[in-house]
Every structure is written in C-alpha cells, then in structure tokens.
Amino acid sequence: MPFRVWPDMGPPGEIRYALIWRPPSGMLATLPNLKAILVLGAGVDSALDDPTLPAGIPVIRLLGAGMEDPMAEYAMYAVLHFQRHMHAYPRQQRDAVWRRIPWALAGEWPVGVMGLGVIGGFIADRFAACGYPAAGWVRGPRRQEGIEVFAGKERLKDFLARSRVVVNVLPLTAETEGILDAAAFAAMPRGSYVVNIGRGAHVVDADLIEALDSGQLGGAMLDVFREEPLPASHPYWRHPKVIVTPHAAAPTIVDAAERQIIGNVERLERGEPPLGVVDRAQGY
Ligand code: OXD
C-alpha cells in the first residue's frame, strides 16, 4: 500500500486511511474517500475536538499497544515516591538531617485508579499484585478480579475517600473534564496524593494548587497539562509539592502501534470490524 506523509499526500481523493495525532483542524474533511481515521495514541480527545471531523467514518484508537507497561511503571514510581517519602528526603539531605520518616506498608496504603480501560485495568492489577489495596473508579458497572470497583458519579466520593493516592488515566470527555476539582480533593484523606497521566483538563489547576497549599494534598506528580508544553510561567513548574514531567509517561511504542494499525487496516480491507473503534458520543 502506498504510504504518504502529510503534507505531501498527493491527490486528497487517493487517501483512504489517515494516521493522525493532532492534525490541523479541517484537514481530514478535505479527504473525500477516507475509510478510517487511525489515531496514533490511546486518547482521542484532540481528534474528536475537530468540529469538521467527517461523520460516519470510524475513528480508531490504540488499545494499549505496549503502552500499558510504561504507564504502569510511571504510576508505580509515583506511588512509591510518595508512599516512601522520597519527596521529603531531598529536603532533609540538603540540611544534613538524619531523620527516618514513618511510612505505611503497601498493604495499608490504598491506591485508587480512575479509569479501568486497557491501561487503567492493567495499572490497577500491578498495584494489587504489589500488595496495595487497589480500587478503580469507572463510569458504568464493571468487574475486575482483585480490584474494588466503584462505578458511577455517585460512588466517586467513596472511591476518593478510601484512596491515599489517586492515579488518573481516564479518557477526557465532557463528563470527565475538571473531575479532579476542589470537591474531589476535599473528599480525599488529608495529605493524600494525585498522579495525573490522563489529560491535563481532568484537573482544575487552581483547585489543585489550593489543595496542595492548604495541606489537604501532600503532593502531585503531573505528566499532562491543559496546555502542552507547560508554559514556563505556570506555577506548577516551581511548586514545591509538584513534580512535572513532559507528557513522558508512555510514548507510543512504534512496533506495537504499527502492528495494531496494520492489523486494523487489514481487517477493514477484508470487510471485518476493526478493534478500538471509538464511540464518538461517549468520547472514547
Ligand atoms: C495517548 C497519549 O493518548 O500519548 O496515547 O497521551
């Protein structure tokens, strides 16, 4: 199959499959014979954001595609960092202070994962396997062996209240935008932690900073932001309780993504349903 790299795509009518990550708004609408839109990532919020996105064409996302492991590594690192006070020891070292900070064992440190899709479910299993009481919050009813599942908006508060740390991997939709706000932080135990590897817009930034400053939250490790790159003037960069990483939790793994995308194009060519089709109304 000929493969063209935008903007050198030749006659737009020849393009049948578009592999995208944040294309300019309106670009896909110029392709009259498009059969499928394949997103080169797990999150499709930016693709669905385009009001000119052609209707009736499947939008397909990556399902894990090897990103589960690096995402889980990031989440594990963040949780261990906070659980074992690795954020506090550098301050002590600076002043040559020899003081052991008491910590809770994994079994006494409940971890909550927001989103139990391919990636979130994998992360929750990792925590459970390492002995953390692991729970997940999801939109609708779901079961996952060994994971306490809280389903629906009405269970969100209970989920937050039992979590010493919340790891967010939700898809960004109209329903989840700003879900990590002042009310959510207030529901968490005092001094707990937030790890965001979902999307920046899940967090109400001013509320997070306020919760950190008041001591309601002990710290946050953030990989995703409303504006990326995070502007140099943003208070997160210099906040003593925030660790900023540059959307680095899990890059798209080329080999695995390639296999999944080629598999889906082959399915479409055979007239079979592809895997990972996004429900546009639902937003993921
Ligand atoms: C993704 C991402 O959605 O990189 O894959 O954020």
Q: What residues are annotated to the active site?
A: 199, 247
Alpha-carbon distance of 182 to 46, in angstroms, equals 25
| CA-nearest residue, atom 6 of ligand 1 | 43
Looking from the CA of residue 44, the nearest atom of ligand 1 is 3
Contact 236, 230 (CB under 8 A): yes
Residue 66 confidence (pLDDT): 94
Q: How far is the CA of 145 from the centre of ligand 1 (A)?
A: 26
- Ligand 1 centre to CA of 208 (Å) is 22
| DSSP 8-state secondary structure symbol assigned to residue 140 | S
**155 Rama sector, left if φ>0, alpha if ψ -120 to 50, beta otherwise:** alpha
For domain 68-244, give the CATH superfamily. NAD(P)-binding Rossmann-like Domain (3.40.50.720)
Q: Which atom of ligand 1 is nearest to the CA of 41?
A: 5
Whether ligand 1 lies within 6 angstroms of the CB of 253 is answered as no
**For residue 203, what pLDDT is reported?**
99
Closest to 221 (Cα-Cα) out of 246, 253, 201: 246
Nearest to 212 by CA among 191, 183, 233: 191
- Is the whole model's pTM more than 0.85, yes or no? yes
CA nearest neighbour of 70 among 252, 261, 194: 252
User: Does residue 64 have its Cβ closer than 6 Å to ligand 1?
Assistant: no
Q: What is the pLDDT along the chain (284 residues), one digit of tens a residue?
A: 999 999 999 999 999 999 999 999 999 999 999 999 999 999 999 999 999 999 999 999 999 999 999 999 999 999 999 999 999 999 999 999 999 999 999 999 999 999 999 999 999 999 999 999 999 999 999 999 999 999 999 999 999 999 999 999 999 999 999 999 999 999 999 999 999 999 999 999 999 999 999 999 999 999 999 999 999 999 999 999 999 999 999 989 999 999 999 999 999 999 999 999 999 999 99
| 41 ligand 1 Cβ < 6 A | yes
State the distance from the centre of ligand 1 to the C-alpha of 42, rounded, in angstroms: 5
The number of residues making up the chain comes to 284
Domain 12-64+251-269 sits in CATH at 3.40.50.720
Residue 45: in which H helix or E strand, if any? helix 45-48
Locate the ligand 1 atom nearest the alpha carbon of residue 199 and give its number: 6
> Does residue 198's CB lie within 6 angstroms of at least one atom of ligand 1?
no
Work out whether strand 242-244 and strand 148-151 pair parallel, antiparallel, or are unpaired: unpaired
Alpha carbons 150 and 143: distance in angstroms, whole number: 10
For ligand 1, atom 5, which residue shows the shortest CA distance? Answer: 41
Q: Is the CB of 19 under 6 A from ligand 1?
A: no
**Which residue's C-alpha comes closest to atom 4 of ligand 1?**
41
Q: What's the confidence (pLDDT) of residue 62? A: 96
Task: State the distance from the centre of ligand 1 to the C-alpha of 99, rounded, in angstroms.
Answer: 40
Query: In the chain, which residues fall in CATH 3.40.50.720?
Result: 12-64+251-269, 68-244
pLDDT at residue 205 in the model: 98
Return d(Cα 249, Cα 230) in angstroms, integer: 15
Segment holding 194, helix H or strand E: strand 192-196
Name the DSSP class of 32: T
Of ligand 1's atoms, which has the minimum distance to the CA of residue 40? 5
